[in-house]
């Protein structure tokens, strides 16, 4: 594939990571690099790149300062209190009411000027471009409002598995950034990762129904590894909790297995979530027989490359 | 009350801790000591007693050795695999099937010889009698089988609140022991406690329906503090996780607020749970208008005082 090649949702690409096909789970070897760039071309040093390569993630505690976090919280409050926002197709509301749970496409200025600035923050973007060794566009973005007391669990999964099968993301050349907007303690259900799990692709069993995305953000049922595979992976890799103060940034590979427990503590766990994809890894036809998911879940605006800007 | 006074489920006793009555939560002062004995009369030293008095709990990591834990696991397996056991009234099975979730009255030799020995283990019993400054009987006992992946959360509560309102436990002179049969990590939903919370009694709102106990072990809905009170308490006391290897023992006061998150990790969290009550704190008429709960939930066999024995 070259920069001149463009794909659309009918372009067929070889399926290097078949999933949800057989009835037996398999561990496939990763066929793609994890780090595409080097320490000479970006803000991450050799040790940090090595860590990302080895673990599949990198946690940067206190990446944003208190003032930057406060600006994000202001914007969070504005979006949560906006009845108009809750009615957007990009909004996911709580099952038991109308409270906003997630809002997609927050990198778009028409949805949030502030969050579009964070999405293009050169301090973030230059790290991502360094890891992926190319220019990037936004595959998906969202803000997750996770209040205390009622936070539900999110079962173990590889984001790549879903993006590959349901969206046609061909290769592993995609990085997620989670900006923690609240302190993540050990006990308010921080993200858990299996370090090193990104080097294997664990195939999943069963087929997701059409429009799966409308429920999958509330409860994950498809595209999750089976308990036996997970037990083996946890034994092999252990579990790391991504704890840290508000403003911490977690960079993680698209194929890193992660999940989170429920949260009965009063401490919320809101975060901004940006998924950057290499321009050399454009979406093709989904590797299942479904219609492509909406643009705000899996963008096909490949030419909208992100331009690094100063945040504040 | 003296040793010669006996109560039954019709004996009316003054309600020093009224709960589930008003529509506004209140913080009442504790009217009872926490530690009734002293360092001269038992295995706990002054520092440990002080810690229990201050925090409302005491964690003893590795209290049982591997061999003792293994014997408990053998017994756990036997009970889980017994169809006869699952059909006992003392058995609580999973909502979605017939798997054993909890089994009550495991201190009774006719239910479990092994666990009856643990319940009378002098190393445990002498600590409990020291804290309570008297002989004790078993108010409630159970084994909780908590498998990995599917562990549900258990919302914050004071055991005393329920035992007082629903069982007629008059005063705070009751100690719980949780013997961890699996390693409790930070991430497999260990018990969380609010250290110091046992010094206040937080009244709850709303009345539980009759036979509440049949569902309360599956999901706690009544007898839990309101979110505002909890937020204030957590701010004041912080959260401590009771983590430790299998065989660790947690002693905690009946009024210590505690709860646990859900658990998506493969790591189970089984435990033995014994509630020892002072013989000077016999159950009276429940402080609500319900019938007394069954004997295996709230024993009235006050004369069955526990006699310390060697375990193994």
For A19-38, write each residue's pLDDT tens digit. 998 888 999 999 999 999 99
Instruction: Find the CB nearest B264 among A148, A261, A266.
Output: A261
Instruction: Find the CB nearest A265 among B234, B266, B267.
Output: B234
Within-domain flag for A305: no
Is the Cβ pair B261, A262 closer than 8 Å?
yes
What local confidence, expressed as pLDDT, does residue A74 receive?
Answer: 98
- Judge whether B187 and B151 are in contact, CB under 8 Å: no
Is the Cβ pair A230, B185 closer than 8 Å?
no
- Determine the Cα–Cα distance for residues B79 and B86; give it in Å rounded to an integer: 8
Within-domain flag for B308: no
- Give the model confidence (pLDDT) of B230-255 as tens digits: 999 999 999 999 999 999 999 999 99
- Determine the Cα–Cα distance for residues B146 and B83; give it in Å rounded to an integer: 18
- Which CATH number does the domain housing residue B192 bear? 2.60.120.620
Is A111 in a helix, a strand, or coil? Answer: coil
What local confidence, expressed as pLDDT, does residue B290 receive?
Answer: 85
Is the Cβ pair A264, B261 closer than 8 Å?
yes
Q: Give the CA radius of gyration of chain B.
A: 18
The packing angle between helices A122-132 and A46-55, to 10°, is 70
Q: Which residue has the tokens 């790591």?
A: B267
Q: What Å distances lie between residue B90 and A26, B214, B294, CA to CA?
A: 42, 11, 9
What local confidence, expressed as pLDDT, does residue B1 receive?
Answer: 41
- Determine the Cα–Cα distance for residues A310 and A125; give it in Å rounded to an integer: 10
- Judge whether A147 and A264 are in contact, CB under 8 Å: no
Within-domain flag for B306: no
Cβ-based neighbours of A84, under 8 Å, separated by 6 or more: none
What local confidence, expressed as pLDDT, does residue A97 receive?
Answer: 61
Q: What Å distances lie between residue B301 and A255, A293, B8, B70, B224, CA to CA?
A: 58, 63, 10, 31, 28
- Determine the Cα–Cα distance for residues A143 and A154; give it in Å rounded to an integer: 16
- DSSP 8-state assignment for residue B44: S
- Judge whether A108 and A274 are in contact, CB under 8 Å: no
User: A295 burial class (0-12, 13-18, 19+ CB within 10 angstroms)?
Assistant: middle
B105 conformational bin, left if phi > 0, alpha if psi -120 to 50, beta if neither: left
Within-domain flag for A265: yes
Across the range A10-20, mean pLDDT stands at 92
Is the Cβ pair A241, B186 closer than 8 Å?
yes
pLDDT band of residue A290 (cuts 50, 70, 90) is: confident
Residues of chain B with pLDDT under 70: 1-5, 96-97, 207-221
Instruction: Find the CB nearest A234 among B230, B231, B265.
Output: B265
- Judge whether B37 and B136 are in contact, CB under 8 Å: no
Within-domain flag for A26: no
- Virtual CA dihedral for A21, A157, A301, A123, nearest 10 degrees? -150
User: Sheet harboring B174-180: ordered strands across?
Assistant: B57-60, B249-253, B174-180, B271-278, B136-144, B100-104, B91-93
Average pLDDT taken over every residue of chain B: 92
Is the Cβ pair A266, B227 closer than 8 Å?
yes
Average pLDDT taken over every residue of chain A: 92
For residue A258, report the phi and psi dihedrals to the nearest 5 degrees: -150, 165
* CB neighbours of residue A307 within 10 Å: 9
- Judge whether B220 and B311 are in contact, CB under 8 Å: no
The distance of A128 to chain B (nearest Cα, Å) reads: 29
* CB neighbours of residue B38 within 10 Å: 12
ipTM strictly over 0.90?
Answer: no
Instruction: Find the CB nearest B239 among A153, A154, A265.
Output: A265
The distance of A149 to chain B (nearest Cα, Å) reads: 8
Within-domain flag for A187: yes
Say what percent of chain B tops pLDDT 70. Answer: 93
The distance of B252 to chain A (nearest Cα, Å) reads: 20
- Give the model confidence (pLDDT) of A200-252 as tens digits: 999 998 766 666 666 555 445 678 999 999 999 999 999 999 999 999 999 99
- Determine the Cα–Cα distance for residues B146 and B191; give it in Å rounded to an integer: 12
* CB neighbours of residue A209 within 10 Å: 10
In chain A, residues with a C-beta closer than 8 Å to the C-beta of B185 are: 239
How many structural domains comprise chain B?
1
The distance of B28 to chain A (nearest Cα, Å) reads: 22
In chain A, residues with a C-beta closer than 8 Å to the C-beta of B263 are: 261
- Give the model confidence (pLDDT) of A114-165 as tens digits: 999 999 999 999 999 999 999 999 999 999 998 899 778 899 999 999 999 9
Is A49 in a helix, a strand, or coil? Answer: helix
- Judge whether A286 and A292 are in contact, CB under 8 Å: yes
Within-domain flag for A230: yes
The DSSP annotation for B267-289 comes to ----EEEEEEEETTS---S-SSS
Q: Which residue has the tokens 């030799």?
A: B109
Residues of A with a Cβ under 8 Å from any B Cβ are 148-149, 152-156, 185-187, 189, 192, 227, 230-231, 234, 239, 241, 259-267
- Judge whether A277 and A139 are in contact, CB under 8 Å: yes
- How many helices (DSSP H) and strands (DSSP E) are in chain A? 8, 13
Say what percent of chain A tops pLDDT 70. Answer: 93
- Determine the Cα–Cα distance for residues A278 and A269; give it in Å rounded to an integer: 28
Q: Which residues pair with A161 in a beta bridge?
A: none
In chain A, residues with a C-beta closer than 8 Å to the C-beta of B191 are: none
- Determine the Cα–Cα distance for residues A128 and B246; give it in Å rounded to an integer: 42
| Alpha helices (runs of H) in B97-148, residue ranges in sequence order | 113-119, 122-132
What does pTM read for this prediction?
0.90
What local confidence, expressed as pLDDT, does residue B3 receive?
Answer: 46
- Judge whether B42 and B126 are in contact, CB under 8 Å: yes
Say what percent of chain A tops pLDDT 90. Answer: 81
pLDDT band of residue A2 (cuts 50, 70, 90) is: very low
Range of the domain at B165: 37-278
What local confidence, expressed as pLDDT, does residue A199 receive?
Answer: 97
Q: Which residues pair with A93 in a beta bridge?
A: A100
Pairing between β-strand A192-193 and β-strand A240-241 as defined by DSSP bridges: antiparallel
Structure tokens at B213: 């106990």
- Determine the Cα–Cα distance for residues B62 and A113; give it in Å rounded to an integer: 54
Is B247 in a helix, a strand, or coil? Answer: coil
Within-domain flag for A195: yes
* CB neighbours of residue B115 within 10 Å: 26
């Amino acid at each position: 594939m070259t920069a001149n090649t463009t794909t659309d949702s009918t372009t067929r690409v070889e399926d290097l990571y078949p999933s949800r096909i057989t009835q037996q789970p398999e561990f496939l070897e990763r066929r793609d690099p994890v780090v595409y760039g080097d320490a000479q071309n970006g803000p991450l040093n050799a040790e940090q790149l090595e860590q990302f390569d080895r673990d599949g993630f990198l946690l940067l505690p206190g990446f944003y300062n208190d003032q930057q976090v406060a600006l994000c919280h202001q914007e969070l409050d504005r979006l949560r209190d906006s009845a108009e926002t809750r009615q957007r197709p990009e909004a996911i509301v709580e099952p038991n009411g109308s409270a906003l749970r997630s809002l997609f496409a927050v990198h778009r200025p028409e949805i949030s000027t502030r969050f579009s600035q964070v999405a293009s923050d050169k301090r973030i973007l230059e790290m991502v471009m360094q890891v992926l060794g190319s220019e990037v566009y936004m595959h998906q973005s969202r803000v997750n409002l996770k209040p205390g007391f009622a936070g539900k669990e999110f079962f173990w999964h590889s984001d790549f598995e879903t993006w590959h099968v349901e969206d046609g993301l061909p290769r592993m050349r995609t990085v997620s950034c989670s900006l923690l907007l609240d302190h993540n303690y050990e006990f308010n259900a921080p993200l858990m990762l299996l370090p090193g799990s990104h080097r294997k692709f664990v195939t999943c069993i069963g087929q997701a129904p059409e429009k799966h995305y409308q429920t999958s953000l509330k409860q994950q049922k498809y595209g999750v590894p089976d308990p036996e595979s997970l037990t083996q992976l946890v034994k092999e890799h252990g579990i790391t909790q991504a704890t840290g103060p508000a403003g911490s940034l977690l960079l993680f590979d698209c194929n890193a297995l992660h999940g989170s427990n429920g949260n009965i503590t009063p401490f919320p766990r809101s975060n901004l979530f940006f998924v950057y994809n290499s321009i050399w890894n454009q979406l093709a036809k989904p590797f299942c027989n479904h219609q492509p998911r909406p643009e705000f879940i899996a963008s096909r605006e490949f030419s909208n490359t992100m331009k690094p800007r100063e945040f504040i």
